[in-house]
């Protein structure tokens, strides 16, 4: 069928034609934002899930929701090698500049901008990647100690006061939070704790890999009380079906039920895979309904496409010893697996593999669901590893 009309959209962070199965968590976040906007308490929300499950697109959708409801937002992503202050500062500045155009918030927004200037100046020594335009001179004593923990508290408090004066919530959206270094995470948690204690309308809505709750708890033991960690899993059968069927129906195209069953089975309901399969099924079909045969052809093409993109970009970032570790895990199946069992496959001592395992966790490739257990953060990665490295060594 006409590839120009193909509605499916595989790709990291690419909005799907139908955002299936996420209404509940969207509503949870909407309620939290509206509550803090009127001075009630609400926990910040950190969505966790494997790669390709739809965290980024959901975060973006929630940001649009919040803006449509009139709130201030900022959006950042934590890359592996940047400091938290450096990713927050420019975004905070923009949010404050917008707030300063609200008459009732103007003075406090300008004060927070002065705070930001002091913050950036004082912390530049330690975090030399901070780059932010300064609109005001620093206010001596405001967020300018040069200590992230206390300065971020001061700064977020000043920002929260400005938002409060403007009668709006300020919602901080941050993706890939698992990459934020432990001490910076701890400072961020402390700062959010302060704004919540002061009932200031600041909320964090974040996303990260499944290791995030553990990292947060390690950074600050009270993090669990401050945050909700909704788990985004694969879509249930009816949701996965909706993700495929509804966009096609918009184009007056149907799926044969058997074709649909095949796609749901092969993708296990993972959103990224659903988009990839949907796209290829559409392209393989000559007419509606999309048939089982079309989907069988699509399976090969979708798998090949994933192998060259979704899986490949992750694989290429691994060193040879990391690849061997992942391949040994794959030998045991989807997982999770005991570290001892993985070592046994590799005919090595568990201890000697600990550094490789730590590296893989830091790179966000694997995580530890419970002590001594290891699992992939990318769904179906075990099958990819076997395809791409047929033998163990
Ligand atoms: N709820 C959903 N329904 C259908 N497709 C989705 C859904 N969420 C995400 N997708 C699709 O899955 C892919 C991956 O989404 P993304 O947000 O990048 O995942 P993550 O950030 O968790 O790795 C994108 O192609 C997106 O269009
Ligand atoms: Mg993402």
Ligand with minimal distance to 379 CA: 1
Does 12 fall in a domain?
A: no
d(CA 61, CA 209): 19
- Nearest Cα neighbor of 66 from 110, 103, 26, 117 is 26
Q: Are residues 173 and 189 part of one domain?
A: yes
261 phi, psi to nearest 5 deg: -60, -45
Spatial contact of 205 and 362, defined as CB atoms under 8 Å apart? no
The tens digit of pLDDT for each residue in 181-190 reads 999 999 999 9
Sign of the CA dihedral running 187, 188, 189, 191: positive
User: Ligand 1 atom closest to Cα of 10?
Assistant: 25
pLDDT over 90, % of the chain: 96
* pLDDT of amino acid 117: 96
Ligand 1 pocket test target in 10, 11, 15, 52 with most atoms within 8 Å of CB: 52
Q: What is the mean pLDDT of the chain?
A: 96
**Domain interval for residue 272:** 235-308
93 phi, psi to nearest 5 deg: -60, -50
Q: Are residues 247 and 98 part of one domain?
A: no
Q: Are residues 239 and 224 part of one domain?
A: no
Token code pair at residue 189:
């948690």
Which protein residue's CA is at the shortest distance from atom 27 of ligand 1?
Answer: 16
* pLDDT of amino acid 224: 86
Ligand 1 pocket test target in 7, 17, 57 with most atoms within 8 Å of CB: 57
Which of 273, 308, 343 is the C-terminal boundary of a domain?
308
Q: How does residue 80 score in pLDDT terms, banded at 50, 70 and 90? A: confident
Can you list the alpha helix ranges (DSSP code H) found in 15-146?
23-37, 55-68, 84-99, 106-123
- Name the region of 255 (left: φ>0; alpha: ψ -120 to 50; beta: rest): beta
Token code pair at residue 227:
């945050």
Length of the chain: 393
Distance 81 CA to ligand 1 centre (A): 24
Q: Are residues 369 and 269 part of one domain?
A: no
User: Ligand 1 atom closest to Cα of 49?
Assistant: 22
Q: Which residues contact 46 (CB under 8 A, 6 or more apart)?
A: 177, 204, 205, 206, 207, 208, 212, 213, 216, 227, 228, 229, 230
The tens digit of pLDDT for each residue in 261-298 reads 999 999 999 999 999 999 999 999 999 999 999 999 99
Distance 13 CA to ligand 2 centre (A): 6
Token code pair at residue 25:
């968590």
Q: Are residues 300 and 269 part of one domain?
A: yes
Q: Are residues 181 and 135 part of one domain?
A: yes
d(CA 248, CA 19): 14
| Averaged pLDDT, 84-107 | 96
Does 8 fall in a domain?
A: no
Q: Are residues 170 and 40 part of one domain?
A: yes
**80: domain CATH number?**
3.40.50.300
User: Ligand 1 atom closest to Cα of 21?
Assistant: 1
Task: Give the predicted TM-score (pTM) of the model.
Answer: 0.95
Q: Are residues 195 and 144 part of one domain?
A: yes
Does 106 fall in a domain?
A: yes
Does 337 fall in a domain?
A: yes
| Averaged pLDDT, 202-212 | 97
Which of 167, 196, 228 is the C-terminal boundary of a domain?
228
The tens digit of pLDDT for each residue in 244-268 reads 999 999 999 999 999 999 999 999 9
**If you search the block for the tokens 């699509």, which residue do you land on?**
298
Q: Are residues 158 and 40 part of one domain?
A: yes
**If you search the block for the tokens 């005919």, which residue do you land on?**
347
**251: domain CATH number?**
1.10.8
* Helix H or strand E segment including 213: helix 212-219
Q: Are residues 292 and 326 part of one domain?
A: no
Does 96 fall in a domain?
A: yes
Q: Are residues 280 and 252 part of one domain?
A: yes
Q: Which residues does ligand 1 sit against, CB inside 6 Å?
A: 9-16, 18-22, 49, 51-57, 243, 271-272, 274-275
Q: Are residues 298 and 324 part of one domain?
A: no
Number of domains forming the structure of the chain: 3
DSSP string, 294-321: HHHHHHHHHHHHHHHTHHHHHHTTS-HH
* pLDDT of amino acid 134: 87
Which of 178, 208, 228 is the C-terminal boundary of a domain?
228
Ligand with minimal distance to 14 CA: 1
């Amino acid at each position: 069928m006409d590839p120009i009309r193909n509605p499916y959209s595989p790709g990291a962070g690419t909005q799907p034609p139908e955002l299936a199965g996420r209404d509940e968590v969207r509503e949870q976040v909407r309620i939290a934002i509206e509550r803090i906007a009127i001075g009630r308490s609400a926990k910040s929300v950190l969505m966790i899930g494997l790669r390709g499950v739809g965290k980024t697109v959901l975060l973006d959708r929630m940001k649009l929701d919040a803006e449509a409801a009139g709130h201030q937002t900022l959006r950042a992503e934590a890359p592996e090698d940047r400091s938290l202050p450096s990713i927050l500062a420019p975004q905070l500045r923009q949010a404050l500049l917008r707030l300063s155009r609200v008459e009732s918030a103007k003075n406090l927004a300008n004060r927070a901008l002065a705070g930001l200037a002091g913050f950036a100046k004082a912390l530049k020594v330690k975090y030399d990647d901070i780059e932010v335009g300064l609109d005001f001179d620093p206010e001596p004593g405001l967020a300018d100690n040069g200590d992230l923990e206390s300065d971020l508290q001061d700064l977020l408090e000043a920002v929260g006061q400005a938002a409060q004066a403007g009668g709006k919530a300020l919602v901080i959206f941050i993706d890939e939070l698992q990459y934020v270094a432990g001490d910076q995470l701890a400072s961020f948690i402390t700062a959010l704790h302060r704004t919540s204690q002061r009932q200031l309308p600041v909320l964090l809505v974040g996303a990260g890999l499944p290791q995030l709750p553990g990292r947060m708890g390690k950074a600050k033991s009270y993090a669990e009380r401050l945050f909700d960690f909704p788990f985004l899993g694969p879509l249930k059968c009816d949701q996965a079906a909706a993700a495929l069927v509804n966009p096609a129906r918009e184009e007056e195209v149907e799926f044969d039920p058997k074709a649909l069953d095949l796609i749901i089975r092969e993708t296990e309901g993972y959103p990224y895979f659903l988009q990839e399969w949907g796209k290829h099924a559409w392209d393989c079909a000559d007419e509606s309904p999309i048939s089982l045969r079309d989907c069988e052809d699509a399976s090969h093409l979708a798998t090949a496409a994933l192998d060259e993109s979704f899986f490949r970009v992750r694989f290429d970032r691994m060193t040879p010893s990391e690849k061997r570790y992942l391949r040994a895990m794959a030998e045991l199946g989807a997982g999770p697996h005991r570290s001892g069992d993985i070592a046994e496959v590799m005919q090595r001592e568990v201890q000697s593999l600990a550094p490789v395992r730590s590296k893989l966790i830091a790179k966000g490739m694997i995580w530890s669901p419970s002590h001594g257990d290891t699992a992939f953060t990318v769904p179906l990665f075990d099958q990819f590893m076997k395809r791409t490295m047929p033998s163990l060594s």
